[in-house]
């Protein structure tokens, strides 16, 4: 009986001695995983479908803040404008200079071709270097299906 008690006590002591090692190993593993998660590639699509210049600026601010926070190299950002939001992408837009700066900072800015046709606009009416998709809402839906985050400021 004493021998049995010793074995059980010995096992308990071993567990007590091993526990700190396991906890430390788990903490290192968690730290490594945390580092990996913070360096993973993020993807977000931002919808702009309002004619309000304040909303356009908010979308551009959101894009810049994301790049500043997670690192521009760690995030893919697309701003998709359609409907009344297409105005932010016109040559004479109040936000034109900021949109151009965002594109230079690797934010992909996309115009909806359905909206262009509906508003009788051509690519010549728009800022240079834009990307185009046949339908803005379909593009957003597709991106969400691919796991992209979605934001509508």
CATH number of the domain bearing residue 132: 3.40.1260.10
Segments of the chain assigned E as strands: 42-48, 75-81, 107-112, 131-133, 149-151
- Residue 133 sits in the same domain as residue 105: yes
- Residue 79 sits in the same domain as residue 10: no
Residue 102: which residues within 8 A CB-CB, separation 6 or more?
Answer: 60, 63, 64, 79, 109
In this prediction the pTM is 0.75
- Residue 115 burial (CB < 10 Å; 0-12/13-18/19+)? buried
Phi, psi of 54 (to 5 degrees): -65, -35
**Which residue range is the domain that position 32 belongs to?**
1-40
DSSP letter string over 56-85?
A: HHHHHHHHHHHHHHH-GGGEEEEEEE-GGG
Residue 37: which residues within 8 A CB-CB, separation 6 or more?
Answer: none
- Residue 2 sits in the same domain as residue 48: no
Beta bridge partners of 43: 76
Pairing of strands 149-151, 75-81: unpaired
pLDDT tens digits along 22-36: 344 444 444 444 444
pLDDT tens digits along 96-136: 999 999 999 999 999 999 999 999 999 999 999 999 999 99
Q: How confident is the model at residue 49 (pLDDT cuts 50, 70, 90)?
A: very high
Q: Which two tokens stand for residue 95?
A: 């936000």
- Residue 61 sits in the same domain as residue 108: yes
- Residue 55 sits in the same domain as residue 18: no
For the chain, the residue count is 153
- Residue 5 sits in the same domain as residue 30: yes
Cα–Cα dist 123/102, whole Å: 19
> Tell me, what's the pLDDT at 11?
43
- Residue 8 sits in the same domain as residue 60: no
């Amino acid at each position: 009986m004493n021998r049995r008690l010793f074995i059980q006590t010995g096992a308990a002591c071993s567990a007590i001695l091993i526990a700190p090692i396991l906890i430390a190993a788990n903490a290192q593993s968690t730290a490594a995983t945390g580092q990996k998660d913070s360096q993973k590639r993020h993807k977000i699509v931002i919808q702009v479908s309002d004619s309000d210049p304040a909303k356009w600026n908010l979308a551009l601010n959101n894009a810049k803040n994301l790049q500043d926070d997670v690192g521009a190299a760690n995030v893919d950002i697309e701003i998709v404008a359609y409907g009344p939001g297409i105005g932010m992408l016109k040559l004479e837009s109040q936000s034109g200079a900021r949109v151009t700066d965002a594109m230079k900072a690797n934010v992909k800015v996309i115009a909806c071709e359905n909206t262009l046709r509906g508003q009788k606009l051509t690519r010549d009416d728009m800022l240079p270097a834009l990307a185009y998709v046949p339908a803005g809402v379909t593009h957003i839906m597709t991106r969400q299906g691919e796991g992209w985050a979605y934001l509508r400021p």
